[in-house]
């Protein structure tokens, strides 16, 4: 049982659930528009559970296809038998579809359950084919990280389109905040995935993958990851400058100390990293920046 829990990446699931809940609470429940919401109050938690099921299904099917390369990369906390991943995958896949269909039916749009099928199909294709190709897999994972917020935006699209919501939420800057935070999550996830490709190069090469560090070189992948980190810094600076009027002193300090400064350090360390252990630590450091981004979002609202 412990190995199953570890294979489910409980910390990652906790971050996903926390991000989705606070995103919904800050932009919709806290905005006082609860009477117009599709998910609140009865369907919000089942909706988050469906997102977690999609995420964990992605982990299981990915570990199924990566079983041999993970052994070569000496990754711990893996299930002993490859077939166990497949059994867990189908168990959660079916459970999640039933729950997704119930939610879609409850809001009068049962066809929306197709999103669940499409999301899992894309994750299957990612695990079986796309992650082995140059950059395609990295982009897919980064998009799914942003999907955690965007699926909520889609679920409450009718409310978001209303002028009243746009004017009364986050001092009228809600759309700008959502766009920034989505771009932030996409870029930091992209950086993390490229760092993981460099970290896993030995096992991936043995498994016949064609990731960027294998097709070109670890050094080129390292430079591209660093360039993405520089783009993220520029995005942050532009964001802060354009909306500095909504930042008080405390919020400005938190943004600078907990998000901007760590991202600058991340960029420096990316260019200096030389071994597998250092790239692993940097990929974990990206998680910390993600968590700081969530705290910043809470303080911002």
pLDDT tens, position by position, 228-251: 999 999 999 998 888 888 888 899
CA distance 260 to 285: 13
| Interval 202-221 mean pLDDT | 85
| Interval 18-31 mean pLDDT | 86
**Which helix (H) or strand (E) is 246 found in, with range?**
none
- pLDDT tier at 32, thresholds 50, 70, 90: low
Tokens for 210, please give them. Answer: 């064609």
CA distance 88 to 96: 12
Is 227 or 8 the better-scoring residue by pLDDT? 227
Q: Residue 139 burial by CB count (10 A; 0-12/13-18/19+): exposed, middle or buried?
A: middle
CA distance 285 to 273: 13
Tokens for 32, please give them. Answer: 């006082």
CA distance 212 to 238: 29
Q: Which residue has the tokens 């993390």?
A: 192
pLDDT, residue 262, reads 96
Residue 70 has pLDDT above 70, yes or no: no
pLDDT, residue 26, reads 86
CA distance 144 to 33: 27
| Interval 267-293 mean pLDDT | 93
Q: Residue 248 burial by CB count (10 A; 0-12/13-18/19+): exposed, middle or buried?
A: exposed
Residue 210 has pLDDT above 90, yes or no: no
pLDDT, residue 244, reads 84
CA distance 219 to 154: 39
Backbone angles phi, psi at 101, to 5 degrees: -65, -40
| Interval 137-158 mean pLDDT | 88
Residues 36/159, Cβ–Cβ less than 8 Å: yes
């Amino acid at each position: 049982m412990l190995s199953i829990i570890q294979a489910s990446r409980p910390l990652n699931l906790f971050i996903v659930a926390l991000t989705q809940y606070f995103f919904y609470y800050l932009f919709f429940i806290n905005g006082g528009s609860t009477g117009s919401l599709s998910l609140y109050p009865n369907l919000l938690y089942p909706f988050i559970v469906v997102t977690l099921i999609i995420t964990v299904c992605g982990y299981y099917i990915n570990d199924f296809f990566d079983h041999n390369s993970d052994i070569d990369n000496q990754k711990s906390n893996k299930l002993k038998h490859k077939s166990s991943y497949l059994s867990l995958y189908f168990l959660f896949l079916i459970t999640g579809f039933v729950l997704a269909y119930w939610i879609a039916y409850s809001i009068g749009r049962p066809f929306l359950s197709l999103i669940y099928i499409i999301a899992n199909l894309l994750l299957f294709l990612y695990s079986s084919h796309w992650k082995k190709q140059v950059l395609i897999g990295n982009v897919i994972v980064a998009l799914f990280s942003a999907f955690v917020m965007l699926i909520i935006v889609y679920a409450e699209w009718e409310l978001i389109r209303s002028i009243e919501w746009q004017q009364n939420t986050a001092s009228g800057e809600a759309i700008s905040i959502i766009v920034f935070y989505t771009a932030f999550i996409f870029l930091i996830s992209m950086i993390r995935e490229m760092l993981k490709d460099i970290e896993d190069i030995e096992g991936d090469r043995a498994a016949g993958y064609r990731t960027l560090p294998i097709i070109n070189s670890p050094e080129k992948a390292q430079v591209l990851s660093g360039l993405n980190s520089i783009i993220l810094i520029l995005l942050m600076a532009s964001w802060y400058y354009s909306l500095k009027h909504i930042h008080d002193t405390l919020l400005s300090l938190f943004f600078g100390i907990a998000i901007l400064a760590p991202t600058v350090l991340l960029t420096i360390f990316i260019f200096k990293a030389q071994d597998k252990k250092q790239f692993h630590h940097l990929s974990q450091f990206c998680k910390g920046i993600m968590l700081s981004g969530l705290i910043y979002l809470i303080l911002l609202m």
